[in-house]
Homo-oligomer: A and B are copies of this chain.
Amino acid sequence: MTSSPDGAYEELLRLSRDTTLLGSCGQLLQWDAEICMPHDGVKHRSDQMALLAGLVHDRATDHRFEDLLAAAESSPLADEVDSVEAVSIREIRRSFDRETKLPRQLVEELARVSALSAQAWSDARDRNDFRSFAPWLDKTFELAREKADAFGFVETRYDALLEDYEPGMTTSQLSTLFAHLREGLVPLVDSLRDSSASTSEAQAARDFPLDRQREFSEGIARSIGFTADGGRFDLGPHPFCATIGPGDVRIALRYHRDNFASGFLAVMHEMGHALYEQGLDASHYGTPMGETASLGIHESQSRLWENLVGRTRGFWRHYYPPLQKVFPESLSDVSLDSFRRDMNRVAPGLIRVEADEVTYNLHIVIRFELERALLSGDLRAADLPSAWTELYARYLGITPDTDRTGCLQDIHWSEGLIGYFPTYTLGNVYAAQLFAAADRDIGPLEDAFAAGEFTGLREWLRENIHRHGKRFPAAALIEKATGSAPDPSALIASLTDRYRPAS
């Protein structure tokens, strides 16, 4: 092994790249499991995932990291704060310390169970049969507890899991943030009940043939900057964005014939994720400087394009006339204002991914409460449906009539993603701050949108967020880009400003 600090650093990067590269094979296995894999392939797939997870773990905990990290950390390379080298060393240390706490067997088991459990969830949802899924959910939370215990934590197990998705965030910080949000949003939601904003139904029962939706919405994503040669669109059981590697970022979507907005907003959302991935510096691939900062930051990109671009008057001043041409039967008699009012209708609903901007975060509050209860053991899987129903009644005033539209709607828990949901709300919080900052820097953005001009915003995000990779922790990145620490006030202000009923 080399003894020079530069040599140690280079070797460190090489190990990191190889680990990422191997992990990226697992990302394809996962994407394929959701989009292509035939039903009976799941047993084999779960074996593949477990094997690969074990091998990735072996590499991520390779004993060579220990000496290489020690050599790099004691070299001058580590001293220049926020330099590529210092960031790489810091983040590789973080991953290594974290990964070495997990027993290999647990890593394999998590991968195997998540593949089988995701299929069990999908079958259960299709049949609206929560009972067949409940044992998998118990198993998943049992493994999550083992994982949290292996990582260790100061206050609560949930903190240990959060760290995977939003490094540095704690349960207590989140609780404060959610309380602040509730305080600001509940009056707004109340003021919108029974207002015209919640009753417009211009698009109701109108027909939007799927192929034309795809062509229109995916065409917009391409024209805003999603590189077609470097990615693809698919129809999937739920919308998501998966990165296989540089030059290969994939978007899965779901369209509904009777609801244009749902499919369209999903395209904008996943495009936001994809632009972030495509905006990373490919020359840093496989090392921290080529990785996204956190899931909260990731979600800020999707939310920003979905809500703060795709729902705006400026955007539709440009795109509504062509949209009317695509769907003349359904839209020729609908005015721009009426179309937008419908798209921005606020109404408590059962389905998170179809929720409006204002009530969306209440869906997250519900999941945040439930997953902490499931993790602590206060709630057992068998009792989830009734707990779910109770919280939807309390926060949103509605109750699901089937588990399919209730506690079986999200894939996340089945895949072992526990502690993940709060990043959606963090994304909303960050997005509002980022949009306000960009608007100050290069705005007024809505005028640009009205002129069909999105390059400015895209490049502002690339410059202020994408290109930094993991250079800064999420909170520091937001502060650097916007001048303020993360704070829900911008989100509350933005929603209040845009949704408060005209008095």
Do A51 and B18 contact each other (CB < 8 Å), given the known contacts A25-B25, A230-B41, A232-B38?
A: yes
Q: Are B42 and A247 in contact (CB under 8 A)?
A: yes
Q: Are B38 and A28 in contact (CB under 8 A)?
A: no
- C-beta contact mask, A220-252 vs B, less than 8 Å → 1, else 0? 000000011111100000000000111110100
A348 CA / B245 CA spacing, docked (Å): 45
A250 CA / B51 CA spacing, docked (Å): 22
Q: Are A48 and B29 in contact (CB under 8 A)?
A: no
Q: Does A146 belong to the interface (CB within 8 Å)? A: no
Which one, B44, B245, B285, contacts A246 given CB within 8 A? B44
Residues on the B chain within 8 Å of A37, using CB:
244, 248
A44 CA / B232 CA spacing, docked (Å): 15
Q: Are A38 and B246 in contact (CB under 8 A)?
A: no
Spell out A's residues near B (CB within 8 Å).
18, 21-22, 24-25, 28-29, 32, 36-45, 47-48, 51-52, 55, 227-232, 244-248, 250, 285
Q: Are B244 and A40 in contact (CB under 8 A)?
A: no
Q: Are A229 and B48 in contact (CB under 8 A)?
A: no
**Contact residues of A: prevailing secondary structure:** helix
Say how far A6's CB is from chain B's closest CB, in angstroms: 24
Which one, B43, B45, B55, contacts A55 given CB within 8 A? B55
Q: Are A25 and B52 in contact (CB under 8 A)?
A: yes
Do A247 and B36 contact each other (CB < 8 Å), given the known contacts A28-B28, A48-B24?
A: no
Residues on the B chain within 8 Å of A250, using CB:
38
Q: Given contacts A25-B51, A38-B247, A55-B55, list 6 more A-B pairs with CB under 8 A.
A: A21-B51, A24-B48, A25-B48, A28-B32, A37-B244, A44-B285
Q: Are A248 and B28 in contact (CB under 8 A)?
A: no
A149 CA / B79 CA spacing, docked (Å): 51
Most buried by B among A40, A52, A232: A40
Residues on the B chain within 8 Å of A40, using CB:
227, 229-230, 246-248
Say how far A87's CB is from chain B's closest CB, in angstroms: 23
Q: Are B38 and A24 in contact (CB under 8 A)?
A: no
Q: Are B45 and A248 in contact (CB under 8 A)?
A: yes
Do A229 and B24 contact each other (CB < 8 Å), given the known contacts A45-B245, A48-B245?
A: no
Say how far A367's CB is from chain B's closest CB, in angstroms: 32
A12 CA / B387 CA spacing, docked (Å): 50
- Of all A-B residue pairs in the complex, the 5 with the closest CB atoms, nearest first, are A41-B248, A40-B247, A44-B245, A40-B230, A39-B229
Most buried by B among A18, A44, A45, A52: A44
Q: List 6 A-B contacts (CB under 8 A).
A: A28-B28, A28-B29, A37-B248, A38-B230, A40-B230, A48-B245
Residues on the B chain within 8 Å of A48, using CB:
21, 24-25, 28, 245
A232 CA / B37 CA spacing, docked (Å): 8
A41 CA / B27 CA spacing, docked (Å): 14
Residues on the B chain within 8 Å of A21, using CB:
47-48, 51
Q: Are A36 and B38 in contact (CB under 8 A)?
A: no
A475 CA / B22 CA spacing, docked (Å): 39
A248 CA / B40 CA spacing, docked (Å): 7
Q: Are A38 and B245 in contact (CB under 8 A)?
A: no
